[in-house]
Structure formats: structure tokens, C-alpha cells
Amino acid sequence: MFTTSRHDLGPNFTFGTATAAYQIEGGQTDGRGSAIWDTFAKTPGNVKQAHDGTTATDHYNRWPEDLDLIRDGGFEAYRFSLAWPRLIPNGTGEINQAGLDFYDRLIDGMLERGLKPFATLYHWDLPSALQDKGGWMNRDIAGWFADYAALVARHYGDRLHATATINEPWCVAWLSHFLGVHAPGYRDVRAAARAMHHVLFAHGTAIDALRSEGAKNLGIVLNLEKSEPLTDKPEDVSAASLGDAIFNRWYLGGVFKGQYPEELTAILAPFLPEGYERDMETVSRPLDWLGINYYTRGLYKADPSRALIPIGQEKGPLEKSDLGWEIYPQGLEDLLVRVSREYTKLPLYITETGMSETDDTRRVKFYDDHLQAVARAQKQGADVRGFFAWSLLDNYEWAEGYQSRFGIVEVDYETQKRTPKGTYRAFQGMLHNTR
């Protein structure tokens, strides 16, 4: 059980659970086009046990049961993503009617159960046909993405409670094009610099397209970390500052100030698209809310052996999840206060937090402590309006495959049976108790 009561978060606070299409849907035969994760996963060495999303949790067929679980848990909202290649198999052009029908059923299913649909347009399943044209490295993606956004707004806009353009642009750009950990698996600074800018430029063009179709309540979801130095030596403090620029300030600064951090543009200048400064007005289009995904902190030290980006990371001494991520609720409180003081007064939503763990009692404590951190941040002026648990179900954890379990509901991948964990019951107890 949680020690937190829902009143600790204020009267109009929204609780939900979050998922993403590729991680749960499966059902890839019904006219859906290929996505970059399909082939990345098949390439040896990229994903543990070469797991892919072919079946995942079979949400494509089992969605009614999954929506029932969300409602019965006492949650009011469901954050889900639409698969671009399910709607437009080649990324541009022809539309897949079966895909349109699927999200019609899913969104209507949420509304029938009294759940607010929080949609994400892009949660990493880029159509392979667009990757063939350079994907996020190609400036044209701003137009392709805007057209896809307009389709979603035209078809579903009046039924969506909120829409986010991109989930975690740091992952789309840096993790996938510099570190090579996620699809398309590039390790190339020019590719990364281009993706870093184009992902935010495309976010801005999509906001324009959504607004011109009449869509309301628009945002973006950033993954943020508390970037800290390993020691108080000046070189480690500078390393943490550069880490913060790459992870946090590039996105917060771009979206809310129309400016990238100078300490990073100084390094990336030769690799950024020429004239990128002219796009900054589009990058920083006004929004209605900001989603923050928070999992852990980054602990940085100077590493002069890395010439271009001379920083390294260490594992700290705090308790860890089974992926080795330090558990640090204080970091969430600090980040929320920082974002609301330095970047925006918009309503904030914790659009994801959670832990990969088989010992569910640890997960209950994780959530309880992070809810308390949110309540403390609210008292310091952060306008936090909602909290989404990552994730409703155990699911496809990208390069970690199916071994890693973030769900508040367990999935048996042999039978696809869903079994609520203690964490689900803890949320249910808190959310049903209105005292």
C-alpha cells in the first residue's frame, strides 16, 4: 500500500498509466508497414535475445481487457501512442484503413470507460520507408511528420483529451544516432546533430499542423534527468554541465526559449544543419502543457580521452532497479522545481516514471516515494497536474527485450494472461479511497 493519499496531490490531479504502440500492440500483419525497430531488432547484437515487437502483449486484440484494467484500477487517463506505420505504412501517401479503424475502436473504448485519451504521435516506430530517405537526419521529416499529425487530428482530434508530438526527443536523436543503442543504431555525430535539430523542428511543424486542424491541448514529452557531478572537482562540475546540456537543456531551451545551449552548439556547430537558427521560432511554438518522463539521475565525470564530448558516466551508490538505474525521487522534485522556475509555467504532467524490477514490493515503494516528491514540488510552486505510471503492462523494453519488467500488471508471454501486481493494487487502493 502507498502512504500517499490522492489528496496529497491536490483536488484536480489526473492519474493514468502509459504505454507505447511498438511495445505492446503486436498485430503487425493487418496492413501495417515496416518500422525501424522491426529490422533493428532482427540485426544480431542490437536487442537482447533478438526479441522484437511481432506479438508483444497482443494489445492489438486484447485492448478491451487492458482498458478494463485501467478503469478498474481507478485511473482516469490512458497515455498511448499511435503507430505511424500502422496508419501510413510507408510514412507518406497511402493510408491503411485497418489502422484507422483500430485507433477508432481503441479511442472509443477509452471514452466508453470514462478514460481521458492522452495520445502520443511518435514513440519511436518510424516507418522504414522514411528511414530509407534518411529518417530524422533528413530535414523533410518536418513535412512528413506534420502531414501524419494532421491526419491524426482530422480523424481523432475531437476525441483526444491531449496530444503530444514526440516522446523523448533525446532518445530519438542522441541515444539512436550518437550512442547507437536504439534504432536506427547510428554512432555518428553529424547524424546525431541533425536528428537533434530535426526532431524539434518536426515537433514545431506538427504543432502548427495540429492547430490548423483545430486540435487542442498540445504538448511534448521530454525525458529529463538530474545531471550531477561525481565529485566537486571543477572538471567534473563542467562535465555535469555538458551532460545537462545534452540531456536536458537542448530540449528545454529549444522548446521554451528558442535557443540551444551555447556550450553544446560550440561543439556541434560543424555538424548541425546549415541555417538551423532560422527554424528556432518553429521549434519554440507555444504549447499547452509539458510532459516529463523521469527515471534516474546522471552522474558525470570528466573524461579527456573522449575528444569531442569529453565526459563519462559512473554508477552511483544509491539503490538501483534491476537495469542498474539509481532510484532518486529527490531528483524528480528538484527537476520539477527547476523546470517551473527556469523554463515554463505551463501545466506539467509526469507522463512516465517507474522501475524495471521483479521484486514488486520495491516498485510499490518507488512509486510512493516519487508521488511524495511530486507533492513536495507542488508546494514549491510546480504546477503538476497528473502522473502516469510506466507502464500498464510488462512489455517490450526496446534493446532490453522482454526480460525487463516495468509493468504494474504482469504479462505471461506464453499465454498473454494479465495478472495485476501489488503496485496495481496499491494504486487501486489509493485511487478508490476518496477520503
The H or E element spanning position 84 is: helix 84-87
Binding of residue 293 to ligand IFM (CB under 6 A): yes
Query: Smallest distance from the beta carbon of 397 to ligand IFM, in angstroms?
Result: 5
Nearer to ligand IFM among residue 55 and residue 238 (C-beta): 55
Q: Nearest 5°: phi and psi at 181?
A: -85, -30
Binding of residue 78 to ligand IFM (CB under 6 A): no
162, 220 Cβ separation under 8 angstroms: no
Kindly tell me which residue out of 66, 125, 394, 397 binds ligand IFM, with binding defined by CB under 6 A.
397
The CA distance from 215 to 336, in Å, is 27
In the set 168, 225, 228, 357, the catalytic residue is 168
Find cell 500492440 and name the residue. 25
Nearer to ligand IFM among residue 170 and residue 427 (C-beta): 170
Kindly tell me which residue out of 20, 106, 207, 242 binds ligand IFM, with binding defined by CB under 6 A.
20
Give burial (CB, 10 Å; 0-12/13-18/19+) of 394. Answer: buried
Chain length of the chain: 435
C-alpha cell at 362: 520495491
The CA distance from 93 to 277, in Å, is 30
Cβ-closest residue to ligand IFM?
20
Query: Smallest distance from the beta carbon of 167 to ligand IFM, in angstroms?
Result: 6
The CA distance from 127 to 32, in Å, is 9
Binding of residue 326 to ligand IFM (CB under 6 A): no
Q: Is 333 a catalytic residue?
A: no
Task: Annotate 284-331 with DSSP letters as a single string.
Answer: T---SEEEEE---EEEEEE-TTSSSS-EEE---SS-B-TT-PBP-HHH
Binding mask 248-287 for ligand IFM (x = CB under 6 A): ----------------------------------------
Q: Nearest 5°: phi and psi at 2?
A: -85, 150
Residues 138-197 contacting ligand IFM, CB under 6 A: 168
131: phi > 0 → left, psi -120 to 50 → alpha, else beta; which?
A: alpha
Task: Annotate 240-269 with DSSP letters as a single string.
Answer: HHHHHIIIIIHHHHHHHHS---HHHHHHHG
Q: Is 168 a catalytic residue?
A: yes
Query: Smallest distance from the beta carbon of 315 to ligand IFM, in angstroms?
Result: 17
The CA distance from 295 to 292, in Å, is 10
Kindly tell me which residue out of 38, 52, 66, 352 binds ligand IFM, with binding defined by CB under 6 A.
352
Query: Smallest distance from the beta carbon of 85 to ligand IFM, in angstroms?
Result: 17
Query: Smallest distance from the beta carbon of 18 to ligand IFM, in angstroms?
Result: 8
Binding of residue 57 to ligand IFM (CB under 6 A): no
114, 153 Cβ separation under 8 angstroms: no
Nearer to ligand IFM among residue 130 and residue 355 (C-beta): 355
Nearer to ligand IFM among residue 96 and residue 353 (C-beta): 353
Q: With CB under 6 A, what is the number of residues at the site for ligand IFM?
A: 8
Strand partners, 393: 409
In the set 225, 228, 333, 352, the catalytic residue is 352
Query: Smallest distance from the beta carbon of 122 to ligand IFM, in angstroms?
Result: 12
Binding of residue 13 to ligand IFM (CB under 6 A): no
Q: Report which residue type is found at 104.
A: D
Kindly tell me which residue out of 136, 144, 390, 402 binds ligand IFM, with binding defined by CB under 6 A.
390
Query: Smallest distance from the beta carbon of 67 to ligand IFM, in angstroms?
Result: 19
106, 79 Cβ separation under 8 angstroms: no
Binding of residue 52 to ligand IFM (CB under 6 A): no
Residues of this chain that interact with ligand IFM (CB under 6 A) are 20, 23, 168, 293, 352, 390, 397, 406
Q: Would you please indicate which residues are annotated as catalytic (active-site) residues? A: 168, 352
